[in-house]
Copies of this chain bind each other. A is one copy, B any other.
Amino acid sequence: MSTEEPPLSRAERRRSTEKRILNVARQLFGELGYDRATIRGIAKAAQVDPALVMQYFDSKENLFRQVVRLDAAQSAPETADPLIAQLMAGLGVKLAGMPAPSLAMLRSMLTHPDTAAEMRETFDRQIKQVSAVLEGDDAELRAALLIMAHLGVVVGKHLLELEPLRDTRPERIIELLDPCFKTLTDPAS
């Protein structure tokens, strides 16, 4: 169908190959996690020699970093004004279409030490941010519970793919979660 080939220049071809590898890597890291996604598997799926992957990305660790870096870039608007509302909005985004690179991080966060460390930092930061605007006792704890509950739902939907979560509109999920989380954000325990 698109067998028409506007003859690509060398540089164009190179960029397109690199991007293809990156896309495949993103998908496989997301599906399989760091350990089970292999350079050889990525290369085969990208229809390329494994050695080429190394030339472009130096090492598997570095390829993984490139893959998950795309995430960090797009995930932090950080205006932090109506922070809680924004947290919920963030959840909405994550539920609708999880940014693909995040999947790779999520998938590997329990088994890949570097990812675990990075994730813990991220969550610690979020906890501090959120708890700063929470009133009442145990603000940090409540923030942590809030964020981990988020995490659980996202994991259930995108990684475990539980049917009730898979098949429900994100808006409905947020609708249900909203009053639930209000009990953690409002100082009335």
A13 within 8 A of B: no
* This chain's copy number in the assembly: 2
Asked, given contacts A160-B123, A176-B184, whether A165 binds B151 with beta carbons under 8 Å apart, the answer is no
**Once bound together, how far apart are the Cα atoms of A32 and B110, in whole Å?**
8
Contact among B127, B141, B162, B180 for A172, CB-based, below 8 A: B141
Q: Mark A78-119, 1 if CB is under 8 A from B, else 0.
A: 000000000000000000000000000011111100001001
Please name 24 pairs of A and B residues whose Cβ atoms are closer than 8 Å in the assembled complex, sorted by A.
A33-B111, A35-B35, A35-B111, A108-B111, A109-B160, A110-B111, A116-B160, A119-B160, A138-B172, A138-B176, A140-B164, A141-B172, A141-B176, A144-B164, A144-B165, A148-B149, A148-B153, A149-B149, A149-B152, A149-B153, A149-B180, A151-B155, A175-B189, A179-B189
> In the complex, given contacts A144-B165, A148-B149, what are 9 additional A-B residue pairs having Cβ atoms less than 8 angstroms apart?
A107-B111, A110-B111, A120-B161, A138-B168, A138-B176, A141-B165, A141-B168, A147-B156, A180-B183
